[in-house]
């Protein structure tokens, strides 16, 4: 069987916490607003939300919270069962998230726009592998990079497109299949241990950009752990791995990591 050359051909990005601080700036306040809209006194503090983030998927997160913290919850009238009510709550939450994105409340993280544009200039293909909903990805990209940016990504693998959410490998496998590329020609980008497990199970070398929710997590399987992608005038901090003296994450560094 021919040896696969480790030439970089595509970058596969997680969204929440990687492209933007969406958990802090978007999802958590959107969940709380949806709870209030539905007469629930549930308020997810930053600390509680940090714990709840162990559960991938907003609908799954709400269910885990009810089971763990709301033993006396009574299903409101008009809903067939808990799943039906959670689906309603999540749809309301998604509307609030989209509104926050439209209001410009969810900016991209440092270096993201620069890296995406450099990849496009150099013919490196782009994909997304995220647990959030396609609607949320569209709202974030449209309101930070413009409507045409959706076409930059050959595949936007998101949410319920796959049966098992992160840390299962399904969503990254879906992205690789639609790129029709082996993992050796791609790099994964994540911010959580769940996401790292998902990406690395497919064989992807994975770069972690940490944030306040994930800084203390186990990233021992990551190829490189950095504070963020950095900018020429705002160098990143290297937390683990070999950044080859780079001051910020660019395509040259990505190519060197892929080829190593």
Active site residues: 14, 16
Question: Binding string, 139-168, against ligand XBP, x = CB under 6 A?
Answer: --------------------x------x--
Question: Can you tell me the distance from the alpha carbon of 108 to that of 93, in angstroms, rounded to the nearest whole number?
Answer: 21
Would you say 7 or 54 has its CB closer to ligand XBP? 54
Q: Please name every residue paired with 11 in a beta bridge, in sequence order, or none if there are none.
A: 126, 187
188 part of the interface to ligand XBP, by CB under 6 A? no
Residue from 16, 21, 170, 228 in contact with ligand XBP (CB under 6 A): 16
Chosen residue from 32, 132, 143, 200 binding ligand XBP by CB under 6 A: 132
| Nearer Cβ to ligand XBP (45/234) | 45
Distance CA 97, CA 139 (A): 8
Which of 131, 149, 214, 223 binds ligand XBP (CB under 6 A)? It is: 131
Give the number of other Cβ atoms within 10 Å of residue 123's Cβ: 8
Tell me if 206 contacts ligand XBP by CB under 6 A. Answer: no
Strands 238-241 and 224-226 come out as antiparallel
* The one among 195, 202, 207, 257 contacting ligand XBP by CB under 6 A: 195
Integer angstrom CA distances of residue 250 from 28, 31, 116: 31, 34, 9
| Residue with Cβ nearer ligand XBP (160 or 242) | 160
Least distance in angstroms from the C-beta of 122 to ligand XBP: 25
Q: How far is the CB of 45 from ligand XBP (least distance, A)?
A: 16
Dist. CA 39–CA 29, nearest whole Å: 15
Beta-carbon contacts of residue 58 (< 8 Å; ≥ 6 apart): 27, 31, 90, 93, 94, 132, 133
| Angle, helices 112-121/134-145, rounded to nearest 10 degrees | 90
Q: Closer to ligand XBP at the Cβ: 56 or 223?
A: 56
- Which segment (10-18, 76-84, 149-157, 221-229) binds ligand XBP by CB under 6 A? 10-18
CA distance 171 to 165: 7
Query: Which residue number, 192 or 209, has a Cβ lying nearer to ligand XBP?
Result: 192
Mark the segment that binds ligand XBP (CB under 6 A) among 50-58, 67-75, 76-84, 249-257. 50-58
Q: Nearest to residue 228, comparing CAs of 140, 156, 243?
A: 243
Residue 209 touching ligand XBP (CB under 6 A): no
């Amino acid at each position: 069987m021919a040896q696969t050359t480790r030439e970089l051909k595509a970058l596969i990005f997680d969204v929440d916490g990687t492209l933007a601080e969406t958990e802090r700036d978007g999802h958590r306040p959107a969940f709380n607003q949806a709870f209030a809209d539905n007469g629930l006194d549930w308020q997810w503090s930053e600390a509680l939300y940090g714990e709840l983030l162990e559960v991938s998927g907003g609908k799954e997160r709400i269910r885990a919270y009810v089971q763990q913290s709301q033993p006396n919850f009574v299903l409101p009238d008009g809903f067939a069962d808990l799943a039906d009510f959670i689906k309603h709550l999540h749809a309301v939450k998604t509307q609030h998230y989209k509104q926050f994105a439209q209001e410009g409340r969810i900016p991209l993280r440092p270096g993201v726009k620069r890296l995406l544009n450099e990849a496009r200039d150099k013919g490196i293909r782009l994909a997304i592998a995220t647990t959030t909903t396609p609607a949320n990805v569209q709202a974030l990209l449209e309101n930070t990079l413009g409507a045409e940016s959706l076409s930059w990504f050959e595949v936007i693998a998101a949410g319920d497109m796959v049966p098992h959410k992160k840390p299962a490998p399904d969503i990254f496998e879906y992205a690789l299949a639609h790129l029709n590329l082996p993992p050796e020609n791609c790099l994964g980008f994540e911010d959580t241990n769940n996401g790292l497990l998902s990406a690395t199970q497919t064989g992807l070398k994975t770069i972690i950009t940490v944030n306040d929710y994930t800084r203390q997590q186990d990233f021992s399987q990551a190829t490189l752990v950095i504070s963020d992608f950095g900018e020429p005038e705002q160098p990143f901090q290297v937390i683990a791995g070999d950044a080859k003296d780079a001051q910020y994450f660019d395509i040259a560094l990505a190519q060197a990591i892929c080829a190593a």
